[in-house]
């Protein structure tokens, strides 16, 4: 049963349920409100049933809560407006991005721009996980920004922590399913950088089977490619790696970077969006797509004292405390419903 403060508030919650940050929000909200949780359709045949379920749920709810602005949140916003219900959307990055040179971001193609723009223009409240995303939403969706609020994702320092000694290992983690994702996440730069440091192990985690063979063909022998891992196994790699790389061209607030820093990995990253929010003055910055400079920065990170890893952990621990998101989310929803 929901606690007293939210016992009369019912939320239709929509998002990709396989995402850890979506699951964290579900855990938070279930403690305070009644949730009707709806997963995003995986197949085209599921859409008609999905839309009907969202419609029914919204009619019974006080507020629609959706992760990401796109086709899956379009029905929730449409029916929220129709039935005069409140709505809240969490923006993660892709849904407000436009990187035309690699055709990345909802606003870089018409198919994704149509639902993203509708959702952002018609929701009551937008939460962004990084301040840079507010600027992108205002620019690309032509919003005034008055209903946009910064609320980062948060991380458990008691789970993500160092254990044992660090190895001379360089790690990057990303969901890689095609060549476009290789470019977005800077995996090509990571691979080329490894050629300059052949005596150091480079590890890529999160590569899907279809693209794995391609990466192995272009990568030198000191690069190991691994598929998706559960949290407990990913944790062990964070704990071993001395250096973590986030070499993306576009990001929200990178969860893997924050988790790695909590495990005292020394970060090497591009000065882009949420990467610089997470890193601050810790670690080493590199330009996007420059393997030679990236390799030089990785060498410096490998030689850096362990104190830099400790500083990385303290930064994430202090900036994104676990309880902050819960307090702010509950306050935002309670105030919306109470107005």
Q: How confident is the model at residue 3 (pLDDT cuts 50, 70, 90)?
A: very low
Query: pTM, whole model, 2 decimals?
Result: 0.92
* pLDDT surpasses 80 at 1: no
The full set of domains in the chain, from first to last, is 4-154+322-338 (3.40.50.2000), 167-319 (3.40.50.2000)
pLDDT at 7: 63
d(CA 21, CA 73): 17
CA atoms within 13 A on the CB side of 289: 5
Residues with Cβ within 8 Å of 315's Cβ and at least 6 positions away in sequence, in order, are: 261, 278, 279, 280, 282
pLDDT at 210: 82
Nearest to 250 by CA among 100, 141, 126, 140: 100
Mean pLDDT of 178-201: 95
Q: pLDDT digits over 34-80, tens only? A: 999 999 999 999 999 999 999 999 999 999 999 999 999 999 999 99
Q: pLDDT digits over 222-280, tens only? A: 999 999 999 999 999 999 999 999 999 999 999 999 999 999 999 999 999 999 999 99
CA atoms within 13 A on the CB side of 311: 12
Round the average pLDDT of the chain to a whole number and report it: 95
Q: Bridge-partner residues for 230, per DSSP? A: none
* pLDDT surpasses 80 at 339: no
Mean pLDDT of 175-192: 94
Q: How confident is the model at residue 6 (pLDDT cuts 50, 70, 90)?
A: low
CA distances to 74, 89, 113, 202 from 110, rounded to whole Å, are 15, 20, 5, 37
- CA 323: distance to chain centroid? 18
d(CA 35, CA 308): 42
Percent of the chain with pLDDT over 70: 98
Q: pLDDT digits over 13-38, tens only? A: 999 998 889 999 999 999 999 999 99
Residues with Cβ within 8 Å of 126's Cβ and at least 6 positions away in sequence, in order, are: 88, 89, 90, 91, 120, 137, 143, 147, 148, 149
pLDDT at 8: 85
């Amino acid at each position: 049963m929901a606690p007293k403060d939210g016992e009369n508030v019912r939320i239709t919650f929509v998002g990709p349920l396989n995402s850890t940050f979506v699951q964290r929000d579900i855990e938070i909200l279930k403690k305070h409100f009644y949730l009707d949780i709806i997963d995003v359709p995986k197949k085209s045949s599921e859409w008609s049933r999905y839309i009907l379920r969202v419609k029914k749920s919204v009619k019974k709810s006080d507020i629609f809560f959706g992760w990401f602005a796109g086709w899956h949140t379009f029905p929730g916003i449409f029916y929220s407006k129709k039935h005069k219900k409140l709505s809240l959307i969490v923006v993660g990055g892709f849904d407000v991005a436009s990187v035309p040179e690699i055709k990345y971001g909802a606003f870089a193609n018409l198919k994704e721009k149509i639902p993203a723009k509708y959702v952002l223009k018609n929701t009551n409240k937008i939460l962004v996980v990084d301040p840079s995303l507010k600027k992108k939403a205002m620019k690309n969706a032509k919003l005034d920004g008055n209903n946009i609020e910064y609320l980062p994702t948060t991380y458990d320092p008691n789970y993500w922590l160092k254990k044992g000694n660090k190895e001379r290992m360089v790690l990057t983690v990303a969901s890689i399913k095609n060549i476009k994702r290789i470019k977005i996440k800077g995996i090509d730069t990571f691979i080329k950088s490894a050629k300059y440091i052949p005596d150091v192990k480079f590890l890529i985690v999160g590569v899907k089977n279809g693209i794995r063979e391609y990466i192995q063909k272009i990568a030198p022998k000191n690069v190991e490619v691994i598929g998706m891992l559960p949290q407990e196994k990913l944790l062990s790699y964070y704990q071993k790696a001395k250096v973590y790389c986030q070499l993306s061209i576009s990001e929200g607030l990178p969860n893997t970077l924050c988790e790695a820093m909590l495990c005292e990995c020394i970060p090497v990253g591009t000065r882009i969006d949420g990467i610089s929010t997470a890193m601050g003055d810790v670690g080493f910055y590199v330009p996007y797509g420059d393997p030679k400079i990236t390799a030089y920065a990785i060498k410096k990170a490998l030689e850096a004292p362990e104190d830099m890893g400790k500083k990385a952990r303290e930064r994430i621990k202090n900036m994104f405390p676990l309880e902050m998101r819960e307090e702010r989310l509950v306050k935002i929803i309670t105030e919306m419903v109470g107005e």
